[in-house]
Structure 1
Amino acid sequence: MDSYHAVIDFWFNEIDSKLWFDKDDQFDQLISERFSDLHDQALRCELYPWRDEPLGRLAEIIVLDQFSRNMFRDKPAAFATDAQALVLAQEAISHGADQQLSAVQQAFLYMPFMHSESKLIHQIAVELFSAPGLEGNHKFELQHKSIIDRFGRYPHR
Structure 2
Amino acid sequence: MAGFTSTLPRTLLSPSLYTHVHNVWFQGVAPHAKITSREAMTRWFDQGSREDRRAFDETCTKEFAAALESIGPEKFPLPPSNSFSEESAAAENIAGPLMQSINTSDGETKSMQTLALILLLDQIPRNIFRTRQAVIYTHYDRLAGAVLRSLMSAESRPDMHPSLRLAPARRIWFYMPLMHSEHIEDHETYIKVVSEMQEEFREQGDKQSEDYIGDSLEFEKRHKHLIERFGRYPHRNAQLGRSMTKEEEEYLLSGGEHFGTAV
Normalised to the residue count of structure 2, the TM-score between the two structures is: 0.55
Corresponding residue of 2:234: 155
5+ residue gaps, structure 1: none
Greater Rg by CA: 2
Q: Is the 8 A contact 1:71 1:78 kept in 2?
A: no
1:12 aligns to 2:26 (yes or no): yes
2:214 is matched with: 135
Tell me the distance in 2 between the aligned counterparts of 1:36 and 1:66: 12
Where does residue 102 of structure 2 map in the other structure? 50
Question: Could you tell me which amino acid in structure 2 is paired with residue 81 of structure 1?
Answer: Y
Q: Which range is displaced more, 38-47 or 13-22?
A: 38-47
User: RMSD of the TM alignment (CA)?
Assistant: 2.0
Question: How many equivalent residue pairs?
Answer: 157
Cα separation, partners in 2 of 1:155 and 1:127, compared to 1, 3 Å: same
Alignment-derived partner of residue 168 in structure 2: 103
Shift of 1:29: 1.6
State the Cα distance separating 1:92 from its structure 2 match: 2.1
Structure-2 separation of matches of 1:47 and 1:34:
20
Return the match for 1:69 from 115, 126, 133. 126
Task: Write the deviation string for residues 10-64 of structure 1: whole angstroms up to 9, x where unpaired.
Answer: 1112584121111612211210011112222344455632263111111111011
Q: 2:189 aligns with which of 124, 128, 133?
A: 124
* Larger relative contact order (CA 8 Å, sep ≥ 6): 2
Cα deviation for residue 90 of structure 1 reads 1.8
Matching residue of 2:149: 90
Instruction: Give the aligned residue type for 1:49.
Output: S
Shift of 1:83: 1.3
**Corresponding residue to 1:113 among 178, 182, 193:** 178
Instruction: State the AA in 2 paired with 1:9.
Output: N
Quick one: percent identity of the two aligned structures? Answer: 31
Aligned-pair CA distance for 1:129: 2.3
1:101-122 CA deviation, whole Å, 9 max, x = no partner? 2212221110000000001111
More moved, 143-152 vs 65-74: 65-74
TM-score of the pair, normalised by structure 1: 0.89
